[in-house]
Structure 1
């Protein structure tokens, strides 16, 4: 986990947290060696830092050794966790929270808004018209859970070879990028399943994605004007026809 987990102090905080947060989100864990809840939360945060593979950096601040930083950020109880993006605190929590809650915290932080992702990728993608290159890049990004960046490579796809594949992958990319942000349809049960599918997609848990989407399709094949069906085809396209998941779930698709 070298590079994903850092020990930070008063001298390095500006460089390793504030400045770094303009390039990648930084989660700061204010802790102390004598703190029992800190010893429970620390491994959870470190495990997520490893799992997310560089999508955020975990910075650990020992408050006993750095009381000035604790005071600067209003830390009154530990463990205290603060998320930094673009040089400022954007989210926080206090106490040893359960893993699912900490995971949602990290997912919120690492989820890229469509506007942010599209603006950063527009220059790169606008001049590349080779369909094979665009598909290859989009596939790589989807495999990494970077749906918003993949959208930029798949939107406005050149006509001709690969356009059908791009359309299916675009449905998956949009779910990964913005699925949980889309307005409710009025069916709270199906909307909840769709949100769970979106969260699973960002974690690259494609078995779970297919499980939730098939649960939707069994109840309403036209959910979101057929979006759920399109995303299923996107997962199939990404994984390939020979993947065991694809063979299993294709047989379960409602006719």
Structure 2
């Protein structure tokens, strides 16, 4: 026999519970149900699905103010914290879930970010590997790991950002990784001969060593002499480095004005 207190309230203290209030006569409910079941299977371990027939449990529908069906409510720690009504598409539901369902790995990712800020890359990388092993679609972990791996494993960093391609919140990071990753992976022989080639290669070597001041200085020198070398590569590289470091980083503040005056 179904026990709402056990199946929803108590369970939601361990794992978020998505409750689908439906009825047999409801056509939109019949459309929504299979979509929710598909997503529940896809996100096993992140949340669980409970379906409640409002015809059999009208008191529950009344308690949670279900005014129309289908009505979906998310329970966390014993409380209904979010929800939606109507038969949304699979894409719409998935986008809603990404925002509504608490991330069980948020604290671990935050700790990894703190470790990275302290210069403890190896420890941060190890934590993120653990998160991604359990939650391979964790966007924050993917983004932070791409940042960590960019200079030492650019090919892997580029692979990770392909998993963020449809996420507008990570568009800037993805472009930054693409620009810097391409430079780090490019063979020296693939760059055209030019009076600025040596400076350009020196800048790339400085990026690889994470000597940002030197890299930006060399790129600015190339910009002044040959703006369009490597398809405007110096300008793109400087912008990518400024974004990577952040607008308030000392390196960005030291070089931004000289960069703006260089073309």
CA-CA distance at 1:63 after TM superposition: 1.0
1:164 matches 2:152: yes
Task: Tell me if structure 2 keeps the 8 A contact 1:41–1:96.
Answer: yes
Matched, 1:145 2:154: no
Is the Cα contact below 8 Å between 2:125 and 2:145 reproduced in 1? no
The alignment of Structure 1 onto Structure 2 pairs a total of residues equal to: 177
Highest CA radius of gyration, 1 or 2?
A: 2
Contact 2:108–2:127, Cα closer than 8 Å, also in 1: no
Equivalent position of 2:176 in the other structure: 229
How far apart are residue 20 of structure 1 and its match?
A: 2.0
Query: Can you give the 5+ residue segments of structure 2 that lack an aligned partner in the other structure?
Result: 182-230, 234-263
Deviation for aligned residue 1:134: 4.5
CA shift, 1:95, in A, is: 1.8
- Alignment CA distance shift 1:140-1:15 (3 Å): same
Are residues 1:59 and 2:50 paired? Answer: yes
Displacement of 1:229: 2.4
Q: 1:68 offset after TM fit, Å? A: 1.2
1:150: Cα distance to partner? 6.4
Cα distance between partner residues in 1 of 2:79 and 2:109: 20
Is 1:98 matched up with 2:68?
no
Please report how far the alpha carbon of residue 122 of structure 1 lies from its aligned counterpart in structure 2 after TM superposition.
4.4
CA pair 111-197 structure 1, distance change in 2 beyond 3 A: farther
TM-aligned CA deviation for residue 35 of structure 1: 1.7
**Bigger relative CO (Cα 8 Å, ≥ 6 apart):** 1
Deviation by residue 1:95-148 (Cα, 9 ceiling, x = unmatched): 2222222222222223639xx71268749x989966885464255256x11244
Q: 1:23 aligns with which of 14, 18, 26?
A: 14
1:14 & 1:231 partners in 2: Cα distance? 50
- Superposed counterparts of 1:175-254, under 5 Å: 196-197=166-167, 224=172, 228-230=175-177
Instruction: State how far apart, in whole Å, the 2-side matches of 1:228 and 1:152 are.
Output: 14
Distance (Å, rounded) in 2 between the aligned partners of 1:163 and 1:131: 15
Decide whether the 8 Å contact of 1:134 with 1:153 is kept in 2: no
Separation in 2 of the partners of 1:119 and 1:146? 12
Alpha-carbon distance in structure 2 between the residues aligned to 1:138 and 1:233:
25
In the alignment, structure 1 segments of 5+ residues that lack a partner are 1-7, 177-193, 202-212, 214-223, 235-253
- Runs of 4+ residues over 6 Å off in structure 1: 125-132, 150-155, 231-234
Kept in 1: contact 2:11–2:17 (CA 8 A): yes
Q: CA deviation at 1:45?
A: 0.7
Whole-Å separation in 1 of the counterparts to 2:74 and 2:25: 23
Alpha-carbon shift at residue 34 of structure 1 (Å): 2.1
CA contact (8 A) 2:71 2:86 kept: yes
